A and B are shown apart, each in its own frame.
Chain A
Amino acid sequence: MMDFISDIQNYVFLQKALFTSIMVGIICGVIGCFIILRGMALMGDAISHAVLPGIAVSYMLGINYLYGAVFTGLLTSVGIGFISQNSRVKNDSSIGIVFSSFFALGIILIAKAKSTIDLTSILFGNVLSVRSSDMWMTLIIGTIVLLVVILFYKELLVSTFDPTFAASYGLPNRLIHYVLMILLTLVTVASLQTVGVILVVAMLITPASTAYLLTNRLSVMIVLSAAFGAFSAIIGLYFSFEHNLSSGAVIVLVTTVLFLIAFVFAPKQGIYWRSVRIRKNRNGVITRKKESFE
């Protein structure tokens, strides 16, 4: 661990990698809370995959890949909504249809783009190759995401918890939904280098779910989720650097370990304490019965 710290002091590429992955951990954690509470985990998976053709087309046109990614990301969420509202096809099926089509299209377009971009690094990330420009983009995206969540926290909370009530006093639920979809696409793009398209969904869902098991307050859940995301990024980066493993995969496995700990030991929701409470309760009933006999 000491070596790792001195390496961070010595190597700029490692500093960039660390900063970027912490930022990604935080914003994925924050947006992830809203994604899981809205029951949109699959949608998060879909949008992260669907940015692929957008990135390819951006390279062909020579523009920043952010624009293409946001465009195809939004197109996916609109397309999914359109199919499930205008046919009997259920929501999860239309998510499956739309995102796999976009992903397939992306694979072909990336190959056709014949540029320096490498499909593997988009799919799985390569955090040690983060450039300064990527780092700045992550910082800007992170700032935008955090600002929107802080400014509209109230509105996000109420439209997530009770959308009918929100609509009854005039909140534009549909607009809020698409703003969240834009943020989700931005977060995906920011995460490309760190964990890659395929594993972004884990960064969105796992830390948020861990936090969900530990608290009854949304504000606390968001802070915890961001902390778990950042912590996983640091530990994951350490292991991937020391043992030469894929950074995205290691970071995701760290989030999984945190989740499993919460799943078993969370004070109220954890299966361990639950079984303890049930046993206590049962024994309590037996002792009370014994006492009443005596």
Chain B
Amino acid sequence: MKKLMRNAVGAIGIDLRLLGMIGALVLLWIIFDLSTGGRFLTPRNLFNLSVQTASVAVMSTGMVFVIVTRHIDLSVGALLGFIAMVMGTLQLNILPEYLGFGHWSIWIITVVVGVLLGTLIGAFQGWVIGYLTVPAFIVTLGGLLIWRGAAWWVTQGQTVAPLDETFRMLGGGVVGTLGDQLSWAVGLAATIGAVVMMVLARRRKSSHGFKVKPLWAEYAMGGIVTALILGYVLVMNAYPLPKGAAKRYAEAQGIEYPADGLFISHGIAIPVIILLVVAIIMTIVAQKTRFGRYVFATGGNPDAAELSGINTRMLTVKVFALMGALTAIAAVIASARLGAVGNDLGVLDELRVIAAAVIGGTALSGGIGTIYGAIIGAVIMQSLQSGMAMVGVDAPLQSIVVGVVLVLAVFIDIIYRRRAGL
């Protein structure tokens, strides 16, 4: 039976580590759901969970590249705070002066400036690491202090609020969702896209005369993917807007608000869409571009990469620039979600991001890591935290548990790798 299962799993082509992580996540969810009396696995909580995860998950995809190349980035939390502060000031105090308050282009300019700033700062840190050969740990530890201080300086410590209304949509919340119809459309498009990719990959493989998976395995995989995507849309659409927001929505649409309330779906939150797009792009970059291939080759053997003609110094600059850009995107999500930028935005995020990547199977020794792993790692971290908060675990105990889980996860990963002979 066990062997049969293993063969089946092997045929479908999911690796065991992924299966293990998903298993751990599901187990976690069930435990929290039981101990909160069914409050954890509700559309509302899952919606909140997905929104809360987005910012850290976006950064963790970049951290995979950083760690795979045997570096580390401790500055992401502080950098997130600094970029968010600059974006907040830009959209609130600077741009309205020239464009007028609430101008439609404010959010676009803000995001573009934020991402450029993040890329530039990341590239600079990467340059110091790659060309001046100061260890990444030191450079980004310095960065942690520098950018946190710089964030304070932008507004002399004042909180910037309220942020531009359109900008706030990027953080989820009541207005920042797709609604039911658009969510279904996105879900369907994603399903079709996934299935088409699978068919094309199979065709390409058999055109080269390679062995392909048995057809039933392909169908099973397609079925699982479809069920996951559409199931997610279903759950998100099952979470209605709260009364007040539904009323405002009805008024805005010119519908009469019925006395017994109105069921208007949240649908998928915009930050989750952003995360999805980032995840797809980063996966393609990791698996299908030369840059991604060189990232992994350099992590596996820097000397070999260098001797193969790869410019590993420039590669370091690019990896950190990418990390900076993703930090800026995370800054957009985090600040838009709160609708304000305070001085403590992003504090300790660097540790959450690194933990997510590491729980997701990224090896600190370099060369190994996956984008999907890091995202699942981020979901596990966030589930742990919000689950324990819901159960009512004391805050100090929460961090103890998270710490233990982090070490345990890496230990299990080491054991797994040893057994698998990797």
Partners in one complex: no
